[in-house]
Amino acid sequence: MADATPRLAVLASGRGSNLQAILDAIDDGRLHAQVAGVFGDKPRAFALERARAAGIPARALRPGDFAGRDEFDAALFAEVASVRPDLIVCAGYMRLLGAAALAPWAGRIINIHPSLLPDFKGLDTHARALAAGVPEHGASVHFVTADLDGGPVIAQARVPVLDGDDADALAARVLDTEHPLLVATLQLLCAARIVLRDEVVELDGRPLAAPLQLASNRLPA
Ligand code: GRF
């Protein structure tokens, strides 16, 4: 992936602030990549508007128009494949992906999840972190497998949980750290420094003993 400009396809269901962070990083030269297409399951998602405003093809399919999840996934991934991505980035894509759709993309599809995985897989992570009383929370970027939020973790960013936090305050603090985390992880992936080999994340050819801790937009030396 390191030679030609890496092509990204982004999957998004909502407001698309992580997509915007990617677009901004490409624009100002921090990320050597291009977003070849943005795809989703919600035709009115603001993420699609952000893509179109940047001149990027954007398309949402409606799950209700398909017989089931596998049929929907197959149609969506046919759209994704049509832009010939090197890497698929799930950035706030809120539907489960089935094993059949994922199989051809193993090691080439990542997701950003708002918790320190393996803690708090699934939804409502911020409220659940508060209810559990953890002192620290954060976000993780991981390779996607059919195991929901269970694929190998590449990198994490941590934030403190503060007295008086509610779920919205904590979500905002995590989101601020998601954007640099996602960009920094993409820098490593697009430079082919991170790869998934036999379900193990490797950095520069060596297995990662633990997820990278990317507190700021600083790459490992
Ligand atoms: C982020 O918190 C992401 O981690 C989660 O969904 C949210 C999407 O935010 N998967 P945005 O659409 O990128 O603004």
Q: Cα separations (Å) of 152 from 31, 69, 182?
A: 23, 24, 15
For residues 75 and 40, what is the distance between their CA atoms, to the nearest angstrom? 11
Mutate to test the pocket of ligand 1, among 11, 13, 49, 112 (most ligand atoms within 8 A of CB): 112
1 is in an annotated binding site: no
Which residue numbers are catalytic? 113
- How confident is the model over 183-211, as pLDDT tens digits? 999 999 999 999 999 999 999 999 999 99
219 located within any domain = no
Report whether pLDDT(215) > 80.
no
221 located within any domain = no
Total domain count, the chain: 1
1 located within any domain = no
Mutate to test the pocket of ligand 1, among 13, 119, 154, 178 (most ligand atoms within 8 A of CB): 178
189 is in an annotated binding site: no
49 located within any domain = yes
Domain that holds residue 185: 7-213
The confidence score (pLDDT) of residue 87 equals 98
Report whether pLDDT(94) > 50.
yes
For residues 115 and 212, what is the distance between their CA atoms, to the nearest angstrom? 14
- How confident is the model over 117-127, as pLDDT tens digits? 999 999 999 99
For residues 115 and 140, what is the distance between their CA atoms, to the nearest angstrom? 6
**Nearest protein CA to atom 12 of ligand 1, as residue:** 16
Report whether pLDDT(3) > 80.
no
Ligand 1 atom nearest the C-alpha of 175 is: 2
Average pLDDT over residues 153-178: 98
The confidence score (pLDDT) of residue 1 equals 55
187 located within any domain = yes
220 located within any domain = no
Record the pTM. Answer: 0.96
Confidence of residue 217 (pLDDT cuts 50, 70, 90): very low
Q: How far is the CA of 93 from the centre of ligand 1 (A)?
A: 8
59 located within any domain = yes
% of the chain exceeding 90 in pLDDT: 95
2 located within any domain = no
Take residue 23 and report the two structure tokens written for it.
């677009």
CATH number of the domain within which 149 lies: 3.40.50.170
